[in-house]
Structure 1
């Protein structure tokens, strides 16, 4: 059954005249008449009573025209939906964020989506790398931003080039350590140290640079994936935070939190990457997040 035949019957039902319907459709009357006749032949019933200038739908014609009207409408909506999806204005987006990406991106990304893609349904899942990879494989999320060093490569995962962000120790403005000329690990361990779960690779590097007491199992006394909550604690107490400076960008800019350099001072970096299922088609909604990540996940 041709969709155009249905469109033509709907137009005839609306205008109740072959001439007017043909003009609205930019067809000749004979072409419109042939289209209606083809539909009648396919259905095996008479759809229109032709009586001179008067054209009346039969009972069959009224039934088919009513159904055809809904079909034509749904086809228009289907095309419109595809166009909106292609433009990133419609659809669903399920994003997974590790602790550091969540601290940097959650609020700005939701603000961006509400402002520029208000009709798109967005869900954000937060958790460890292992949980987010499992969610990818279960297809409950579309893409995830995670700590690249904690990610185990696999054939079914597509891992994009990592972005490096500078990290280290932070404390509140006026912290007792800020009055010392030199801060070593012994001085650091006099205070609570908060951090997120750290990868084995990062733990090894801390031990190599600062000694055995710098291993997270000894050094970190407060462990949580809620970085904003840990930073609130840092501002309110003498707790120190070990993590990525970009997580505290606004607080550092306002002078409420500052870097605490531990000797020997070594530049420390976190590496973060986008990961998705390999060989899976990418939706326009995912491309919206990918572009936002590239533009905003930075120092």
Structure 2
């Protein structure tokens, strides 16, 4: 089989059309370079160069060999670079699953940093309830899940790494009838519609207010800004609206979910790629900036 070194010898001679110059470029003696070219020619029963007095020219076989050799060496160079990028977590394909809240909180920042640092990395995202993403994790379609997913750690072979707690607040629009109250009871909330991330399938009580179920947090945010819906949401997700006064966080002493425990979930026995480890590091940093004691 032909070697990459011999292909480089052929290209060096073709580039300079001089065995002496090519030998110096390759760091070998001229006789050694001549033997390398001769071995190539004998292997394929062709002549690559015509050697005249003071002149070296490519034969038709030589032109074909040079064209193919350049293509092969370029592919080898790309292979080498990609493998080195992969080893540093900068290339490959990575699947990550998130709940809608974490997707809204993390994906914009993750997408920007990964595209900037690792343009050869393809990040495939999936959004949904943690239990619906478990099958994809077990099948290998997903490498990681980031969610409020403590129950997944009870599945054999699945590991959970707690990342911290995200503060949850009940938000309403500015000017909402509840916005001016000092405190709001749970029964007070029940008098108004609610926005929810998931359809939990609970049967509405007689006389209870309805609402909207929407996994897209941007859409839910627009709706809450312009209606009387209340919304249980991560404070970090609506920080700008709270700061500007477009949304107001209510004081609800009986709120069942004041904090959401966020975890990184992966398969315990599966070797995680450098890209997965790189991504997990970014996720830890981002979640740490949002967590509360």
Question: TM over 0.5: same fold?
Answer: yes
Distance in 2 (CA, whole Å) between partners of 1:261 and 1:156 is: 41
Partner of 1:180: 181
More helix by share: 1
- Which segment drifts farther, 91-100 or 46-55? 46-55
SS in 2 for 1:177: coil
SS in 1 for 2:198: coil
- Which segment drifts farther, 52-61 or 100-109? 52-61
SS in 2 for 1:178: coil
SS in 2 for 1:241: strand
Which runs of 5 or more structure 2 residues have no equivalent in the other structure? Answer: none
Residue correspondence of structure 1 range 1-299 to structure 2 within 5 A: 1-51=2-52, 53-151=54-152, 153-197=154-198, 221-264=211-254, 268-297=258-287, 298-299=290-291
Distance in 1 (CA, whole Å) between partners of 2:92 and 2:8 is: 28
Residues 155, 50 of structure 1: CA spacing in aligned structure 2 closer, same or farther, 3 A cutoff?
farther
TM-aligned CA deviation for residue 287 of structure 1:
3.5
CA contact (8 A) 2:168 2:234 kept: yes
Residues 138, 54 of structure 1: CA spacing in aligned structure 2 closer, same or farther, 3 A cutoff?
same
Distance in 2 (CA, whole Å) between partners of 1:180 and 1:21 is: 85
TM-score by length of 1: 0.80
TM-aligned CA deviation for residue 50 of structure 1:
4.2
SS in 2 for 1:176: coil
TM-aligned CA deviation for residue 199 of structure 1:
8.3
TM-aligned CA deviation for residue 29 of structure 1:
0.7
TM-aligned CA deviation for residue 49 of structure 1:
4.3
SS in 1 for 2:12: helix
Count of residues in correspondence between the two structures: 285
CA contact (8 A) 1:47 1:57 kept: yes
SS in 2 for 1:109: helix
SS in 2 for 1:291: helix
Distance in 2 (CA, whole Å) between partners of 1:293 and 1:105 is: 7
Residues 180, 68 of structure 1: CA spacing in aligned structure 2 closer, same or farther, 3 A cutoff?
closer
Distance in 1 (CA, whole Å) between partners of 2:95 and 2:21 is: 49
CA contact (8 A) 1:149 1:199 kept: no
TM-aligned CA deviation for residue 10 of structure 1:
1.5
- Per-residue CA deviations over 1:76-96 (Å, capped at 9, x if unaligned) read 122222334445554434332
TM-aligned CA deviation for residue 296 of structure 1:
1.5
